[in-house]
Amino acid sequence: MRMFSCPACGATAFFSNMACVCGVELMFDPAKHGFAVNVPACSNRAEISCNWAADTNTAGLCRSCAMTKVIPDAFRGDNRMLWASAEASKRWVLATLARWSWFTPEDAGQSPEFHLLSEDTASGPAVVVMGHADGLVTINLAEADPVEKIRRREALSERLRTMTIHFRHEIAHFLFERLTASRPEFPDAFRAIFGDEREDYGKALKRHYANGPPEGWTDEFITPYASSHAHEDWAESAAHVMHLTDMLDSAVASKLLLPPLNNLDYDAYAERDPDPLIDAAAAYGVSLNHVNRSMGHGDIYPFVHKPAVRAKLVAAHGWISGFAA
């Protein structure tokens, strides 16, 4: 993510800022990818601290909030706080995807629809299954709770599990559908690298949860879950391309210079050659992991790119980094 400036005084403004140190209220304009002042704010600004500007075509909501068609009962327990946290992650992911022209006003293709559901409902506890189907992304707000996030990460033996990562993974499934529908060459190219997505998905997941990943999975897959089915291999790989690109973009915006990059003018989202991007992002990841350990924190990117995994990252980058399909 880039750093921004206040239009009123020029002070540095971060993506989540609601106001500048000079006192003016800030509204992020996704069409201009920067902050504005004295423009209509999203009608969810007071409700969930949404700091985006209202979109002229969405009845007072911003472009991100308008994509959410179902929200939790905000009067139940922590639902309002969890909803706000989830929407903040969604705005971050959508803003970075817009750097590749996805879901912008100029993107004529379909945008995803989001249902943000709570396990705490007026009629009692509910089971919420995170996932994507036919353009609908369902998010379980329970995982916006920091304690619950860690509990589920440990229970599932996952090295990385955040709300931002959930949004990237589920949106990657949606991008698969967009690419399949619009690029005739995509299905065959996909199957040559990720396998045949026409394999029975339900059976594949049952096998995965019953038996775990295959022996030697680290040679072929970025995560254990990626080994369960070609769809999940794609979603995990495409999400990791989003992670790596945003990590590198954020590091450059923060003026962190490390080999092999050393270029403060570098635009990770404009990079069309995936190899230098992956090399540089991995190097930054190793360095930032070491810094995190100095404070007793976990690694921010605890993954290794073996040749087969890297080939999938390269392929996914090629498909999602161009103009929106």
Q: The tokens of 176 are what?
A: 């698969």
Above 70 in pLDDT, residue 325? no
Q: For residues 268 and 140, state if they share a domain.
A: no
Q: The tokens of 325 are what?
A: 């399909």
Q: For residues 268 and 308, state if they share a domain.
A: yes
pLDDT score, position 123: 84
Q: For residues 255 and 316, state if they share a domain.
A: yes
Q: For residues 200 and 302, state if they share a domain.
A: yes
Q: For residues 320 and 195, state if they share a domain.
A: yes
Q: For residues 48 and 121, state if they share a domain.
A: no
Residue 54: band (very low, low, confident or very high) from pLDDT cuts 50, 70, 90: very high
pTM: 0.94
What total of structural domains would you count in the chain? 3
Residue where a domain terminates, one of 43, 59, 75: 59
Residue 324: band (very low, low, confident or very high) from pLDDT cuts 50, 70, 90: very low
Residue 69: band (very low, low, confident or very high) from pLDDT cuts 50, 70, 90: very high
Residue where a domain terminates, one of 11, 36, 59: 59
Q: For residues 187 and 312, state if they share a domain.
A: yes
Say if CB 130 and CB 140 are below 8 A apart: yes
Is 53 buried (19+), middle (13-18) or exposed (0-12) by CB count in 10 A? buried
pLDDT mean over 264-275: 93
Q: For residues 300 and 209, state if they share a domain.
A: yes
What's the chain's average pLDDT? 93
Q: Where are the alpha helices (DSSP H) in the chain?
A: 45-48, 63-66, 79-97, 146-155, 163-182, 186-194, 201-211, 230-253, 274-294, 307-320
Q: The tokens of 56 are what?
A: 């002229």
User: Sheet of 68-70: strands edge to edge?
Assistant: 68-70, 113-117, 136-140, 131-133
Owning domain of residue 204: 183-325
Is 173 buried (19+), middle (13-18) or exposed (0-12) by CB count in 10 A? buried
Task: Flag whether 166 is in a domain.
Answer: no
Above 60 in pLDDT, residue 30? yes
Stated as kind and residue range, the H or E segment containing 16 is none
The tens digit of pLDDT for each residue in 213-255 reads 999 999 999 999 999 999 999 999 999 999 999 999 999 999 9
Rounded CA separation 272/269 (Å): 8
**Phi-psi sector, 38: left (phi>0), alpha (psi -120 to 50), beta:** left
Rounded CA separation 125/234 (Å): 32
pLDDT score, position 146: 77
